[in-house]
Amino acid sequence: MKPKKTDKIGITKLKKKNEFLYFALRNNKVKVGLAIILFFLILTFVGPLFTDYVWDDYIGPFGHPPSSKYWFGTTTFGQDVYTQFVFGLKAALLVGIIGGGLGTLIGVIVGFNAGYRGGMVDEVLNIITNIVLVIPTFAILLIIAAYLKVRGIMTESIFIGFTAWPWAARAVRSQTFSLRSRDFVDLARVSGMKPLKIIFTEIAPNMMSYLLMVFILQFGGAILIAATLDFIGLGPTNTISLGLMMNYAVLWGALQLGMWWWFIPPGLAIVAIVGSLYIMNVGLDEIFSPKLREM
């Protein structure tokens, strides 16, 4: 249990355990991506401490450019852009975690079942996947929006989770399909293991790295979708988000007035977060499949 440093077997065990960490820390893509994500994560928690206002406080002069007092300037109505930015950042990360997490979860459940059980289950799940893929989800959101006059980040995240899973389901399905006929799965099957247990104890552990990457992509995708929804005005109504900031900026003529400090930060943050997620994803891919590593 306690590997001693002098112990030969212990050393190899230690190496094996830290192999992932070893390659992860050598991989620049993972390092850079992770650093940027961490930066924004810290900013989300620390950022609000540097402002005395809430996002909808009208505090300063109208349309003031960035200065030492208003770090990111103010909007046409005199709201502090920095305050809106840090609050919006929190919204974006929440949507990513909840929406992306839910999307991954549904995709994984559908993908595992379709891929492992095959046959009729596969056919039916396949049809459902295709339908969700093709239906314009805006239409459904519109009906929801009419009913829920007050919508929060939660509503939006859940909606995104329930509509963004199809590609994850497909990806997991094809992976499961290829694992299904492996010897160790066959062995589990003849030994009388239940399908659900096979999925969770035999197949899932072999796909952990893949699932992590699916989650990362869903995370980034959810943030982008949320930005789009917010921009059309179907996003949250009781809070600010990065997409809403851009929406207001365009609606209230920030472009024509040259108020770049209003619309640059929210977009830049989205690009930085989602971009570093994608880059991290490729880095992880290189770590998990040694073939791809550039020597």
Partner 1 sequence: MKRYFGRKLVIYIFTFFLAVTIDWLIPRFMPGNPVQTMLSRAAVHAEAVEVMYGYYTRAFGLDLPVWKQYLNFWNALFHGDLGTSVYMFPQPVIKIIMRAVPYDIFLLVPSILLSFYAGNKFGAFAARTRWLDNTVLLLGYILTATPYMWLGILLAWSLGIVAGIFPIAGAYSFTMAPSLSWAFIGNILKHWFLPFASLFLVGFGGWAIGMRNMIIYELESDYSHYLEALGAPRKLVRRYAFRNAILPQITGLALQLGIIFGGALVTEIVFSYPGIGYLILAAIQNKDYFLLQGCFLFIIIGVLLANFVIDVVYVIVDPRTRLGMVGGAA
* Closest approach of partner 1 to the CB of residue 28, in Å: 9
Interactions with partner 1, residue window 83-112 (CB under 8 A): none
| Both structure tokens of 272 | 């930085």
Interactions with partner 1, residue window 21-50 (CB under 8 A): none
Single-letter amino acid, residue 48? P
- Comparing CB distances to partner 1, the nearer of 23 and 53 is 23
Residue 138 as a binder of partner 1 (CB under 8 A): the answer is yes
* Closest approach of partner 1 to the CB of residue 42, in Å: 20
* Closest approach of partner 1 to the CB of residue 166, in Å: 7
- Comparing CB distances to partner 1, the nearer of 203 and 227 is 227
Q: How far apart are CA 44 and CA 32, in angstroms?
A: 19
Angle formed by the axes of helices 166-180 and 208-232, nearest 10°: 170
**Residue 205 near residue 122, CB atoms below 8 Å:** no
* Closest approach of partner 1 to the CB of residue 151, in Å: 14
- Region of 5-13, 61-69, 107-115, 132-140 interacting with partner 1 (CB under 8 A): 132-140
User: What x-and-dash track marks residues 140-179 binding partner 1 by CB under 8 A?
Assistant: x-xx--xx------------------xx--x---x-----
- Region of 7-15, 68-76, 103-111, 278-286 interacting with partner 1 (CB under 8 A): 278-286
- Comparing CB distances to partner 1, the nearer of 137 and 206 is 137
| Both structure tokens of 48 | 């609000």
Q: How far apart are CA 144 and CA 108, in angstroms?
A: 26
Binding site for partner 1 (CB under 8 A): 127, 130-131, 133-140, 142-143, 146-147, 166-167, 170, 174, 220, 224-225, 227-228, 231-234, 243, 246, 249-250, 255-256, 258, 260, 263-264, 266-267, 270-271, 273-275, 277-279, 282, 285, 291-292, 294
